[in-house]
A and B are shown apart, each in its own frame.
Chain A
Amino acid sequence: MTTAGQQFLGALSAAHRDRLLAFARDRSFPAGARVFDEDAEALRFWILRSGLVALDAQVPGQGSVVMETLGPGELLGWSWLFEPYRWHLGAQVREPVEAYEFDAPPVRAAIEEDPAFGLELTRCVASVAIGRRLRACRIRLLDLYGVPHVPSEGSPA
């Protein structure tokens, strides 16, 4: 939708958006590039401008299992903001990506120095990135498109 409000940067006030973007550099990734691996230190994060990135986990016997994909406007990575600052999942590029890339330590330092900036950025990560994805994840847990549940005898009504 063209309402920028739902996308990560659009959810920040203009002043705080500019403040964050002052830390950004342009970055491209080709299809197939590995952006980060599970359990590695989360030293950077990205806001995607185009392309598609898959978040994956290594599952024994199944290889790399994709949990979710992220597209334009979305924040790639939030483990840089919370201890222990390690990635919980891996990330691999599916369609060539253009992104803003940020080094995490200076952004974390700015969050500590400027509580108003810190609060808004943290709120934005919590609501736009984590909250939305959590809601989506919970809906997937319901397995809505699976075969409808046939109540068995004795199961609660």
Chain B
Amino acid sequence: MTALMTGTLPLPYRVVRTADETPDTAGIVLEPSGTPLPEFCPGQFAMVYAFGAGDIPLSVSAVDGHRLTLTVRSVGAVSGALRNAAAGSTVGVRGPFGTGWDVPADGDVLIVAGGIGLAPLRPVVRRVLAARERYGQVAVLIGARGPRDLLRPGETREWQEAGARVLTTVDRPAQGWSGDVGVVTMLLDRAAVAPAGTAAFVCGPEVMIRATARELVHRSVPAERIQVSLERTMHCGTGHCGHCQLGPLLLCLAGPVVPWDRARPLLSVREL
């Protein structure tokens, strides 16, 4: 097997453009400078190198052939370097890694996103809305810290126009915010989906994921129909280093997208 096939060799990708989404988050569009990586599926992640700084896992927030869109929030050295990458510069990319979202062909769909967690869920929303007539109720619930932390409000308005019920709430409202205030789980009762026939997708900080999944199960959404995207430190991405271990799972292979019936017992174990 070649290094390319095993995902150990970063390939050069050119930064086509970047766009600020919030004060600390940018969308970055990349295209291969030479040989492309295999196509990514929504939910999968790449290991992205900022040369001289290091590499970090980032989920794809849009896939267009071999063009990748990533959404990166600056929280440290590598994410900061990538968030500020200039158009025309080169980054290294390995992947695709991990499991993708399993998007059903019909039924009700509920998407619950917290903060930057909306980015990996964007392709799910787009896929469902591209075939809107096949689905029942489609609800997208979004939680963020404050109004200025909401990713691409223009795009979420388009989703609403395309037939999704989009509800947004913030933890810390600013002057002039006239929408909901509170955690995203408080929006669940307004989602208007039928619990038993719903496929739910949840991504965000882990505490938010756990609270949301528990509330969904409490409302009779089957645990195996709730998919969550989990984060652990990733290093190799190929199942060799063990950094991403969660109980018996290596999340770079068996995750990051995991059904809640599998994730639940593992997340209730205290970290050592």
A residues touching B (Cβ–Cβ < 8 Å)?
A: 1-3, 5-7, 52, 54, 65-69, 71-74, 94, 132-133, 135-136, 139-140, 142-148, 150
Complex interface: chain B residues within 8 A of A94 (CB) = 178-179
Closest 5 A/B residue pairs (Cβ): A145-B145, A144-B205, A145-B115, A136-B183, A69-B180
Contact between chains at A2 and B192 (CB < 8 Å): yes
Nearest opposing residue in chain B for A74, CB measure: B189
Contact between chains at A6 and B218 (CB < 8 Å): yes
Complex alpha-carbon distance, A67 and B170, angstroms: 10
Q: Given A143-B171, A145-B205, A1 and B183 touching (CB < 8 A)?
A: no
Complex interface: chain B residues within 8 A of A68 (CB) = 181-182, 186
Contact between chains at A145 and B188 (CB < 8 Å): no
Contact between chains at B75 and A147 (CB < 8 Å): yes
Contact between chains at B169 and A69 (CB < 8 Å): yes
Complex alpha-carbon distance, A66 and B211, angstroms: 23
Complex alpha-carbon distance, A31 and B169, angstroms: 18
Q: Given A1-B219, A143-B145, A145-B144, A52 and B189 touching (CB < 8 A)?
A: no
Contact between chains at A2 and B193 (CB < 8 Å): yes
Nearest opposing residue in chain B for A65, CB measure: B173
Nearest opposing residue in chain B for A140, CB measure: B171
Complex alpha-carbon distance, A67 and B177, angstroms: 12
Contact between chains at B189 and A7 (CB < 8 Å): yes
A134 → chain B, closest Cβ, in Å?
A: 11
Complex alpha-carbon distance, A136 and B220, angstroms: 20
Complex alpha-carbon distance, A74 and B219, angstroms: 16
Complex interface: chain A residues within 8 A of B205 (CB) = 144-145
11 further A-B contacts with Cβ under 8 Å, apart from A1-B195, A66-B181, A145-B205, are A1-B191, A69-B181, A69-B182, A71-B190, A135-B211, A136-B185, A139-B211, A143-B171, A144-B115, A144-B204, A145-B145
Complex interface: chain B residues within 8 A of A71 (CB) = 180, 186-187, 189-190
B206 → chain A, closest Cβ, in Å?
A: 9
21 contacts between A and B (CB under 8 A): A1-B191, A3-B195, A3-B219, A3-B220, A6-B188, A67-B181, A69-B180, A71-B180, A73-B189, A94-B178, A135-B211, A136-B182, A136-B186, A139-B183, A139-B185, A143-B171, A144-B207, A145-B114, A145-B115, A148-B75, A150-B76
**For window 72-118 of chain B, which residues contact chain A by CB distance below 8 Å?**
75-76, 114-115
Complex interface: chain A residues within 8 A of B169 (CB) = 69
B169 → chain A, closest Cβ, in Å?
A: 7
Complex interface: chain A residues within 8 A of B182 (CB) = 68-69, 136, 140
Nearest opposing residue in chain B for A54, CB measure: B181
Nearest opposing residue in chain A for B193, CB measure: A1
B33 → chain A, closest Cβ, in Å?
A: 31
Complex alpha-carbon distance, A103 and B208, angstroms: 37
B20 at interface, CB cutoff 8 A: no
Choice from B75, B180, B195, B218 contacting A2 with Cβ under 8 Å = B195
Contact between chains at B219 and A6 (CB < 8 Å): yes
B166 at interface, CB cutoff 8 A: no
Complex interface: chain B residues within 8 A of A143 (CB) = 145, 171
Contact between chains at A139 and B219 (CB < 8 Å): no
Contact between chains at A144 and B114 (CB < 8 Å): yes
B8 → chain A, closest Cβ, in Å?
A: 28
Nearest opposing residue in chain A for B183, CB measure: A136
B149 at interface, CB cutoff 8 A: yes
B26 → chain A, closest Cβ, in Å?
A: 16
Complex interface: chain B residues within 8 A of A72 (CB) = 189-190
Complex interface: chain B residues within 8 A of A6 (CB) = 188-189, 218-219
Choice from A52, A133, A139, A150 contacting B180 with Cβ under 8 Å = A52
Contact between chains at B219 and A5 (CB < 8 Å): yes
A157 → chain B, closest Cβ, in Å?
A: 10
